[in-house]
Structure 1
Amino acid sequence: MTGDLALRPATAEDAERLLTWRNEPATRAASLSTDEIDLPTHRAWLAARLRDPDCRLLIVEHDDEPVGQVRLDRGGADGATAEVSIGLAAAARGRGVGTRALRLLEEPARAWPEVRALTARVRTGNAASVRAFLAAGYHERDRADDVVTLVREL
């Protein structure tokens, strides 16, 4: 998918779009948590994420059209890592959008000077996501319990 790709902060107005992407069957099947989520639960989760200073929830836009989301959750004992999650609309998958969006995350991650590494946990069966993370400069740290842990040093 060629064209401009950008990240913008998510807002409460993105709630239904985010929920649609999250509850899409292929997304649920590839996620660490496969349960379907209802709108009230999702709205409460989103409100908490938007208030959390340790979270950056960003909408991926291709040519100004929302096509997915990426999230950074700062953590670790010293705040030196941020866990990455990504979800794309079905129409954006398989076109390099995920890899490009993951590369764009470096800038918002650097807003936290103490963050030295980005990590991700991906189901081993989610080969497309594993490939996207590897193409974006992550390396595999380990595999355990059907989960691949990937890391990118900043």
Structure 2
Amino acid sequence: MDHFRIRPATKDDTRLLFDWRNDESTRMMSKNKDAVDWSDHLGWLERRLGLAQPNLFIFELDEEPVATFRIDGEDLSYTVAPGRRNQGIAKLMLNEVRSQFGRLRAHVYADNVPSIRVAQNAGMDVVIIDV
């Protein structure tokens, strides 16, 4: 895991973000557990990218998109690509997020122990959400 970078999300990431958002495991750890339909996703992404500061990013490892995160004020939301979980990517990403953006607040479900640990170890404020 030598070459990583954080880049702003673009319209070219539409399908990728849609697929990651609708992954079953991702949905179970999200506040909104429903699948998002394509037209809603397109509208959301267009509005998001139209903000003065969209704060929606893609984390790449060796030029491959492997995770995404979003910053809303002091709140941080993130997910790792379904096929790249349990490989240390969240740890690498959150440490870099902390380095570049400072201490943020991650809301994590109580039963998502790995995400709680990685966020705490990266120095994030973790707010536990009871299931």
Counterpart in the other structure of 2:92 = 100
Counterpart in the other structure of 1:50 = 49
Cα contact 2:76–2:106 (8 A) shared by 1: yes
Q: Which ranges in structure 2 are unaligned for 5 or more consecutive residues?
A: none
Q: Which runs of 4+ in 1 moved over 2 A?
A: 106-110
**Counterparts of 1:12 and 1:53, CA distance in 2:** 15
Counterpart in the other structure of 1:65 = 64
Percent identity for Structure 1 against Structure 2: 33
Q: 2:76 aligns with which of 80, 84, 87?
A: 84
Tell me whether 1:29 sits opposite 2:22 in the alignment: no
Counterpart in the other structure of 2:111 = 125
TM-superposed CA distance for 1:139, in Å, is: 4.3
TM-superposed CA distance for 1:118, in Å, is: 1.1
Q: Give the TM-score normalised by structure 2.
A: 0.89
Secondary structure of the residue aligned to 1:28 is helix
Secondary structure of the residue aligned to 1:105 is helix
Cα contact 2:58–2:67 (8 A) shared by 1: yes
Query: Relative to 1, partners in 2 of residues 1:109 and 1:13: Cα closer, same or farther, differing over 3 Å?
Result: same
Q: Which ranges in structure 1 are unaligned for 5 or more consecutive residues?
A: 75-81, 111-116, 148-154
Counterpart in the other structure of 1:41 = 40
The amino acid that maps onto 2:97 is L
Deviates more, 1:90-99 or 1:131-140: 131-140
Which one has a bigger Cα radius of gyration?
1
Secondary structure of the residue aligned to 1:87 is strand
The amino acid that maps onto 1:105 is V
Q: 2:101 aligns with which of 95, 98, 109?
A: 109
RMSD of aligned residue pairs (Cα, Å): 1.8
**Counterparts of 2:3 and 2:125, CA distance in 1:** 26
Secondary structure of the residue aligned to 2:39 is helix
**Counterparts of 2:34 and 2:9, CA distance in 1:** 22
TM-superposed CA distance for 1:97, in Å, is: 0.7
Q: Give the TM-score normalised by structure 1.
A: 0.77
TM-superposed CA distance for 1:98, in Å, is: 0.7
